[in-house]
Amino acid sequence: MTAVSQLEEWKRTKTIGIIGLGDMGLLYADKFAEAGWNVVTCDRPDVYEDVKESFKGRKFTVLKDGHLVSRVSDYIIYSVEAERIDQIVAMYSASTKLGAVVGGQTSCKSPEIKALEKHLPEDADIVSVHSLHGPRVNPEAQPLVLIKHRCQRADSFPFVEAVMSSLKSKHVYLTYEEHDRITADTQAVTHAAFLSMGVAWCKIELYPWTIGVNRWFGGLENVKVNISLRIYSNKWHVYAGLAITNPAAHQQITQYARSASELFALFVQHKRQELTRRLNAAKEFVFGKQDGLLLLDDSLLERYSLSKHEPQEGEQTLPNSHLSLLAIVDSWYQLKINPYDHIICSTPLFRIFLGVSEYLFMTPGLLETTINAAIEGEAFRPDDLEFVIAARSWSQIVSFGSYELYRKQFEEVQDFFKPMLPEANMIGNEMIKTILRHVDNNEGRES
């Protein structure tokens, strides 16, 4: 822990530089400046005047480009898209202040670290970070990964820790290899599931919360809808970078598509016994040691719905096959991933997805009802087919490594849902805050 006198001395004498004023770069700039650090920032030189005008009155200073930021900053954070990290570091690294500490904020660290090693002056230390949440989530108590990669000076890492303490996050210390493995385990499949839901609804041209209580009504459905729309309200590159640049993510997204396809094949072939055996094996592997309180409960999930329909007496919701949730647990089983191993450095979306998957598999009788709906029910069959096609489509796009195809598919769905995104974000924010508070409390009781 850095002494208060040392912290105040650093705030008086050190400058923090942020190259890239996207959503996360802006979050960092605001939080550091509010905590009393001298912060300089930049975005693309061609938008300098617009950016300067947009952030007039903020506590940080906007400079024209990364050269000017790098020349004066003692800790430089490259907050740019993963696909452009090498290009941007190559552009500005020569202006790095003598003896500065430099890092990045991308979601995949292997290409970031390679770029920093390749282009930075040898006197620059390398400490990278990654906040495991989106820009609209309060960073307080959320996991923040710190990667001490190259530190030639004893005070470099404590200095970065002191800067990052402004976020009031929970520090997690990893190597960049450990980071990439864990983020693949906790994010790649989660994103693939919710992205695929959005594509499926887009292709059948349906807002699922608008059709009454027959389908997609209730607690689990609220989570699916709200989280899917939350993802599509963000920028496409946030998810593309992790999926395409991280080799471990490729394997997991491929397995998720395979699990969805194989489970769907068992649905349409009415192979109840084989489906039951496979899902019970997955349940035992993933949840076999979980004998405490469930992370979530239905009374909590019921509160947050976009639907304006009030259920009438006699109306019943058709049981859903929940293919998206069955496939996530099956893919964890097939890859031998225990999702609870990484809960300490997981994203809010992952903790919620783990909670709803646990709820489906561990609530007495619910898995059996779901299997029966998958085998006997026809209401969700066309939607499940679209979901399988969507999951395979995302898997192919990632395996091709095509940012352009990723952007095109993401923005097509984003445009379809655009009229509903403001309301969905408002409801989703409240849902996430409530669910995470509940999850954290339950974890605390069990630990």
What is residue 291's predicted lDDT score, i.e. its pLDDT? Answer: 67
- The whole-angstrom separation of Cα 79 and Cα 27 is 11
The CATH number for 4-174, chosen from 3.40.50.720, 3.40.50.2300, 3.40.50.620, 3.30.70.20, is 3.40.50.720
- The whole-angstrom separation of Cα 287 and Cα 358 is 7
Q: Are 285 and 333 in contact (CB under 8 A)?
A: yes
Which part of the chain has CATH 3.40.50.720?
4-174
What is residue 445's predicted lDDT score, i.e. its pLDDT? Answer: 40
Tell me, yes or no, if the pTM score tops 0.85.
Answer: no
Q: Among residues 235, 229, 226, 238, which one has the least CA distance to residue 434? A: 226
pLDDT per 10-residue tile (average), the chain, 447 residues? 86 97 95 98 96 95 98 97 93 98 94 96 97 86 94 96 96 94 86 92 80 57 80 88 88 95 97 98 91 59 50 61 94 92 79 85 91 89 93 95 95 90 70 64 47
What is residue 146's predicted lDDT score, i.e. its pLDDT? Answer: 97
